[in-house]
Amino acid sequence: MNKMEAHALLLAASARDGRAVRDEIAAVWADDLADVTVHEAQAAMREFYRERPDEWLRPGHILGEVRRARRREAREARIRRGPVELPPAPTVTLKELWEADHA
Report pLDDT digits (tens) over 6-27.
Answer: 999 999 999 999 999 999 999 9
Instruction: With respect to residue 24, please indicate whether it lies within any of the assigned structural domains.
Output: yes
The pLDDT score that the predictor gives to residue 90 is 80
Instruction: With respect to residue 38, please indicate whether it lies within any of the assigned structural domains.
Output: yes
Instruction: With respect to residue 86, please indicate whether it lies within any of the assigned structural domains.
Output: no
Instruction: With respect to residue 7, please indicate whether it lies within any of the assigned structural domains.
Output: yes
Instruction: With respect to residue 45, please indicate whether it lies within any of the assigned structural domains.
Output: yes
Number of domains the chain is built from: 1
Instruction: With respect to residue 35, please indicate whether it lies within any of the assigned structural domains.
Output: yes
The pLDDT score that the predictor gives to residue 33 is 98
Report pLDDT digits (tens) over 40-87.
Answer: 999 999 999 999 999 999 999 999 999 999 999 999 998 888 888 888
Instruction: With respect to residue 100, please indicate whether it lies within any of the assigned structural domains.
Output: no
User: How many angstroms separate the CA atoms of 28 and 59, rounded?
Assistant: 9
| pTM passes above 0.85 | no
Report pLDDT digits (tens) over 34-46.
Answer: 999 999 999 999 9
Domain residues for the domain of 19 are 3-81
Instruction: With respect to residue 102, please indicate whether it lies within any of the assigned structural domains.
Output: no
User: How many angstroms separate the CA atoms of 46 and 57, rounded?
Assistant: 10
User: How many angstroms separate the CA atoms of 14 and 12, rounded?
Assistant: 5
